[in-house]
Amino acid sequence: MKRATSLLCLFVAFAALPLSAQVNPYKDGTPGVTGFRSEVLAEVMIQEDKFVHLAGAIPAEKYTWRPAAEVRSIAEVFLHVAAANYNIYQMVGAAAPAGLDIKSLEKSTTDKAKVIAVLKESFAHARKAITAMPDADLEKSLDWFGGKNTERGVLLFVVRHAAEHLGQAITDGRVNGIVPPWTEDAVKAKKAAESAKAK
């Protein structure tokens, strides 16, 4: 019974938190998008929220930090994800903005504000690409790494790719003493639940 009460208090504390570092497309939905594309869009929206909040939490002076000489810097990780949001969605019919040099985007800036702006713009592009894509195109076949894939498979890949680099960015942040904002929210919720339980 005590455990159930503790879990209930924790849930209530989480629900009371401002959603500063959380979106919930599973609750709020993905208007105008249904089926598989809605499921992908939900994941992309969550990844966007986490990337943008993590990028905001990392100090500007850490944007050039890299764990080793041959590994991407913090800025490069964020910009690599942004480049993928433009490059990969081209394969499902979403042309990149005119004049955007995707190949050089990863190394284009280390300015925190610019990196975050590019990241946000790239996720807006991704959301638009998923929304505009017809369900009928999901099974279309295309050439892929020397083999074949479907447009559905491309959407799966882009979600996995971003998740891989989100993990990398989280690790880079933690090595530099940055706790992800959503983890901070969870810690606050736990403390609030413990405080409520003690009363």
pLDDT in tens, 127-163: 999 999 999 999 999 999 999 999 999 999 999 999 9
Flag whether the pTM goes above 0.75: yes
Contact by Cβ (8 Å): 9, 189 = no
CATH superfamily of 27-179: dinb family like domain (1.20.120.450)
d(CA 89, CA 34) in angstroms, rounded, equals 18
Quote the percentage of the chain above a pLDDT of 70.
89
Q: What is the pLDDT of residue 105?
A: 98
- Backbone phi, psi, residue 147, to 5°: -135, -145
